[in-house]
Amino acid sequence: MGRVLNVFLTSVQRMELERLYKESTHHVLRQRCQIILLKASHRKTSNICAIVGIKSENQVNKWVKRYKNEHASLGIQCLRNLEGQGRKSIFDSETESELIQRIVKAERQKLENAKIILEKN
């Protein structure tokens, strides 16, 4: 059996997590805030999984560890995705995006033609 991960929050940290939980429009960020708040109230990881709707206890423990290790340096931002995580952007620049919009607008009746034109460029 592994070590129990405990989180101790100051009243300021708790208020900040509660505010972000209530105001954030990003579901995963709300889940992460809820995980930390529940862990701070001494809930078991398995109970947190059931409440939050995450199947993996490892995911819960990962976010608890990340909060404990990085909160001092990054603050609440440690619960957000780091730069480079997630799907990479399809378009490299704004000008490329404008080019695609222009071609699709010109070929809106037949998007297959727009795709062919874009693949040639």
- Confidence (pTM): 0.68
Backbone CA torsion sign across 9, 12, 17, 18:
positive
The mean pLDDT value for 28-35 works out to 94
Residues 56 and 112 in one domain: no
Give the integer Cα–Cα distance in Å for 70 and 20.
Answer: 17
Q: What is the pLDDT of residues 67-97, one digit of tens each?
A: 999 888 888 888 888 777 777 766 666 667 7
Residue 1 pLDDT > 70:
no
Highest mean pLDDT among 10-24, 87-101, 102-116: 10-24
Residues 96 and 53 in one domain: no
Residues 33 and 55 in one domain: yes
Identify whether 108 is part of a domain. yes
Identify whether 2 is part of a domain. no
Could you tell me what percent of the chain has a pLDDT over 70? 89
The mean pLDDT value for 88-109 works out to 74
Identify whether 3 is part of a domain. no
Identify whether 68 is part of a domain. yes
Identify whether 94 is part of a domain. yes
Residues 96 and 44 in one domain: no
Residues 108 and 68 in one domain: no
The reported pLDDT for the residue numbered 59 is 93
Residues 65 and 113 in one domain: no
What is the total count of domains within the chain? 2
Please give the residue range of the domain that contains residue 107: 90-120
Identify whether 15 is part of a domain. yes
Residues 73 and 96 in one domain: no
The per-residue b/e assignment along 53-69, b for 16 or more CB within 10 angstroms, e otherwise, is: ebeeeebbbebbebbbe
Q: How far from 120 is each of 89, 109, 110, 115, 117, CA to CA, in Å? A: 20, 19, 16, 9, 5
Residues 73 and 100 in one domain: no
Residues 30 and 64 in one domain: yes
